[in-house]
């Protein structure tokens, strides 16, 4: 069973985070929602309170098969401010393990931290010009997979993004078997 980390911080995009957790758990991944804040209860960008499974410092030493970053502001900025998370992301990429980021996270977390210079990626349109400074190629596609990095644009692409992560972990057939009962066509 793949182990997946979804870090969150105050101001995260709730559609993205909850969709990630939901879809990956439907695929039977062992998903941990971890707060980078000093408390487990985190408030999303639209005021929704979410209780994380743990604090990031309690689970940072686990070898994750996938780390998936939701966007939202200022949530992505708070993720970028976490020294523990940035170290974990560096190790994830160095080990060739999967890393996913959506919305503001590709530019704000990964780009500003200098982690994705040789990658092709996408992000929310509001951060596209910034992303161009940090990557080999910035794309307008809804989901971009380049080696062990999968990026996506915004809340509207969260379901497709999450299914792409399932596909990366388990293969296309598994992603289609998760998508089918959810009535997702042509992801």
Q: Which residues are catalytic?
A: 16, 103, 124
SS3 179: helix
SS3 153: coil
> Strand 149-152 to strand 98-102: parallel, antiparallel, or no bridges (unpaired)?
parallel
Helix (H) or strand (E) holding 137: strand 137-138
Report, in angstroms and rounded to the nearest whole number, the Rg of the chain calculated over CA atoms.
15
Joined together, the tokens standing for residue 174 give 């598994």
């Amino acid at each position: 069973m793949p182990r997946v980390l979804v870090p969150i911080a105050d101001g995260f995009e709730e559609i993205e985070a909850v969709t990630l957790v939901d879809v990956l758990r439907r695929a039977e991944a062992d998903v941990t929602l971890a707060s980078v804040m000093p408390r487990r209860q985190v408030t999303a960008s639209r005021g929704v309170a979410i209780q994380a499974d743990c604090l990031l410092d309690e689970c940072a030493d686990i070898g994750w098969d996938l780390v998936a970053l939701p966007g939202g502001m200022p949530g992505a900025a708070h993720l970028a401010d976490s020294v523990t998370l940035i170290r974990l992301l560096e190790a994830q990429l160095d080990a060739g393990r999967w890393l996913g980021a959506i919305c503001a996270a590709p530019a704000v977390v990964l780009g500003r931290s200098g982690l994705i210079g040789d990658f092709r990626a996408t992000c929310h349109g509001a951060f596209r010009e910034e992303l161009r400074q940090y990557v080999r190629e910035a794309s307008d596609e809804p989901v971009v997979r380049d080696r062990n990095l999968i990026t996506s644009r915004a809340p509207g692409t969260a379901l497709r993004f999450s299914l792409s992560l399932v596909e990366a972990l388990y293969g296309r057939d598994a992603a289609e078997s998760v998508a089918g009962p959810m009535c997702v066509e042509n992801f």
